[in-house]
Structure formats: C-alpha cells, structure tokens
Amino acid sequence: MDTAAGGREAEGSVHPAADAAAEVPAVADAPAAADVSAAAGVDVRTLALGAASGTVPLARDFTRSLLYDWGWLPAASADARAAAEDVLLVVSELVTNACLHADGPELLRVVRRAKVLRLEVADRGAGQPAPRTPHRSGRPGGHGMFIVQRLCLDWGIERSPGEPGKTVWAELAAPA
C-alpha cells in the first residue's frame, strides 16, 4: 500500500534477501554479521543495534566500512563520492528517526545488489514515518524522511502481522 507520504507500506511482505538475512544471528560479542549469497548476486550485512550506545555513529561507521569493502570508497569521481555520502546520510536519518520516534533501532541491514543498495532499520515502534508536510526548509528538525524521500529511488515500511515494530527501508542507486 502506498502511504500518503510517498513511501510504501507492506504488511507481512518479505523481500528477496529477507530469507537469507533471517539466518544471520545477532551475537552479543559480534554485533555485525554477514550473509553473502554470490549465486544470487546479493550481499547482506547486518548490525545489531538494540542496546548499543551511540547508535547513529555506529551505524554510519558500519556502513562506511561496507562501502570501502565494496570499493565504493574511496570514490573515483565526485558523483561516486556524492552517492556514497547520500548512503551515509540516509543511514543517519533512518537510525535517528528510530531513536527519536520508535524507542531506538533494533538492527541495521544493508542489502547490496548489482544496481541497488537497500538500507533497512528495524525497530519496535508503532509509529508511521512520513515526511512532514508542508516541508519548511528554514525550520530546524523534521527533515529526516523528506531527505530520505528526495535521495532514494524508493522507501517504505514493512510490518509483520501480530508482531510489534516495523522495518523502515530505503533504496538508493549503486554508484556507477
């Protein structure tokens, strides 16, 4: 279902990488886990954030290290550098929203495909993220989902029936 804000909400939907990512356990001593599915051309990395402090910088650092692993950083051009910075900004906005409006994020999942990078932030909140309308660029605060909407190819919310919380996801084009 499309939300009034431009994102999509899917109740009980599962994206193609969810089955592979569901097998990745969150281990207390090793909050980051990976499931690399080369045959499917999908690379899934997960960072458990539940009880971590400094979650926004932690999520950005985790994502930045992935961008280095995948050769997106250091960027070869200004456009590639801007694409990598957009990824880090969207991670910051999604995690910050979970901190401010949903009792904190549970995990960050980054799914890399050939042409699309999908960022997912799971939380236990019942809220409905949406860009504030009308958007007032001169006022502080309230810009997070507007930024996500402007920078991403698509974004939305997934909920599992009968379970608390949601996953807010956003997809960006992979740097060329």
Per-residue pLDDT of 23-70, as tens digits, reads 333 333 334 444 545 556 899 999 999 877 899 999 999 999 999 999
Within the chain, strands assigned E span 8-11, 32-37, 42-48, 105-112, 116-123, 154-159, 166-173
173 vs 176: CA distance, rounded Å: 8
Q: Over pLDDT 70: what percentage of the chain?
A: 69
Q: What's the rounded mean pLDDT across residues 130-140?
A: 63
At residue 7, the pLDDT reads 59
For residue 70, the 8-state DSSP code is T
What's the pLDDT at 162?
A: 87
| pLDDT interval class at 140 (50, 70, 90) | low
Global pTM?
A: 0.76
- pLDDT surpassing 60 at residue 20: no
